[in-house]
Amino acid sequence: MAFNYFSHNGKILPIEEAQVPLSNIEYQYGFGVYESIKVSGGVAFFVADHIERLMSSAKEIGLTHPFSPRAVEQGVAELLEKNATESCNVKILLLGAKTAEGASLEILCLNPLFPDAKLYRDGVHCVTYEYERAFPHAKTLNMLQSYLAYAEARLASAYDALLLDREGNITEGTRTNFFCMKGKTITSPPKEKILLGVTRKAVLKVAKENDFTVEERNIRPANLSEYDGAFLTSTSSKIMSIHSINEHTFAEQPKALKELMTAFSRFLDESRGVMN
Ligand code: PLP
């Protein structure tokens, strides 16, 4: 589907007027943060959580700007109405400048990509890649190494690359959060080392409501055999089961993971796009 409009600093404009600010040094150097929001069946999911993270990502890298959370939320709602779309990914780009007033806010609609249903059923293969993100809690435009990690994963026919910190612990995927599980215990890498994913937050809420235990611990590739299974979470893929990581293959998909996936789908259907 073609989306005819985008939003620039709170103003809806025809998409033909969108510009790449080539001479802007902040653009050239990637001094910006972004968000992707899923819109499905006319529901925009977890908008307030995404905007809260946009604001905290900006703060984390010292990007000052004049846009309030309310103004961003309004920009998203207006754009969805103008583009008359029930299903898309909303991308929000907040680009810094030398002064707060010079910052720019672009919001656009993109066509969503849905992972194949077979992948959810069978689980995906992942490979590891040594890379520690500089600002783990910020979703920044500095995506070069993540891009290269993902490209290497795709070359190895893997779904995603799992990033390893300097001690060799798995932290997260290139655009996903990572978890292991044993029985009804879910293990997450320590919060300080990862992006605090919006889907991660929703999944952990659903997990706790369904009597799962959640713990934080370093996970090394050599320790994967201690777990029954593993999975990824992200806005675009929800909960994605992992079948294998490098040479380690998990036995069949854990029953508890199927239970969590079902509970999470139910939660999404009933949530009306709001976390609480
Ligand atoms: N981790 C990283 C490094 C990411 O870039 C992303 C999303 O782009 C995620 C995790 C998943 O976050 P969310 O669930 O908010 O999409």
pLDDT tens-digit readout, 96-136: 999 999 999 999 999 998 899 999 999 999 999 999 999 99
Calpha distance 72→5 (Å, rounded): 16
Q: Are 163 and 132 in contact (CB under 8 A)?
A: yes
What pLDDT, in 10s, does the model give residues 203-239? 999 999 999 999 999 999 999 999 999 999 999 999 9
Phi, psi dihedrals of residue 179, rounded to the nearest 5°: -145, 150
Q: What is the mean pLDDT of residues 174-187?
A: 98
Q: Are 72 and 105 in contact (CB under 8 A)?
A: yes
pLDDT for the residue 1:
86
Q: Whose CA is nearest to atom 4 of ligand 1?
A: 175
Q: Is the pLDDT of residue 177 over 80?
A: yes
Tokens 């050599």 belong to which residue? 222
pLDDT for the residue 234:
98
What pLDDT, in 10s, does the model give residues 238-264? 999 999 999 999 999 999 999 999 999
Domains of the chain: 5-110 (3.30.470.10), 117-271 (3.20.10.10)
pLDDT for the residue 183:
97
Ligand 1 site residues (CB inside 6 A) read 139, 172, 175-177, 195, 197-200, 233-235
29 CA to centre of ligand 1 in angstroms: 21
Q: What distance lies between CA 220 and its chain's CA centroid? A: 22
Three-state DSSP at 238 gives strand
Q: Of ligand 1's atoms, which has the minimum distance to the CA of residue 195? A: 1
Helix and strand numbers (H, E) in the chain are 7, 15
Q: pLDDT higher for 20 or 62?
A: 62
Would you place residue 22 in the very low, low, confident or very high pLDDT band (cuts 50, 70, 90)? confident
Q: Which H/E stretch holds residue 229?
A: strand 229-234
Q: Whose CA is nearest to atom 3 of ligand 1?
A: 175
